[in-house]
Amino acid sequence: MWRKQAVMIQRIQSIYLFIVVLISAVGSHFLYLWNTANNVPIYAIDKPMVLAAFLFSALLALVTIFLFKNRKLQFVMNRLNIILNLILLGFFVYWLLTIPGELISEKGIGMFLPIISIVFLVMANKAIKKDEALVKSVDRLR
């Protein structure tokens, strides 16, 4: 039983989801979102709602990795994670457009973390679809 579970975790969509976990959980702590006019970097940990969204996205991706037996639920969970990252990205765009220019002098790479997560989540969903099609084709042969 352990052997099969270890093999299932090594699927490509599991690797994509693990990358999303790393991006959301670790990247949000080390990559700044923007610099203020005084060159003070603002991280996700400085904004509790942003940090909560990043950590929830990481948790959702981590839970999704272990749903390999239920591909449809895995696909839906990825879609929810994509929506969460789109909301986070929309929040960043809204924040940049409404905050006066003097408060934000330079955008950081942390602003692009939701975009990178969305790309990997879409790639994971494509791999899940491919697995589902493969299982359906094998079932037709039986």
Q: What is the pLDDT of residues 48-68, one digit of tens each?
A: 999 999 999 999 999 999 988
pLDDT band at 27 (very low <50, low <70, confident <90, very high): confident
pLDDT confidence band for 7 (50 / 70 / 90): very low
Question: How far is 82 from 76, CA to CA, in rounded Å?
Answer: 10
* Range 8-37 average pLDDT: 85
Starting at the edge strand found earlier in the chain, the sheet holding 106-107 runs: 41-42, 34-35, 106-107
What are the Cα distances from residue 83, in Å, to 6, 57, 70? 29, 10, 20
Does residue 5 or residue 95 have the better pLDDT? 95
Q: How far apart are CA 84 and CA 128, in angstroms?
A: 19
With 80 as the cut, is the pLDDT of residue 140 above it?
A: no
How far, in Å, CA of 127 to CA of 133, rounded? 10
Cα 136 to Cα 132: distance, rounded to the nearest angstrom: 6
Which range is least confidently modeled, 15-19, 37-41, 92-96, 102-106?
Answer: 102-106
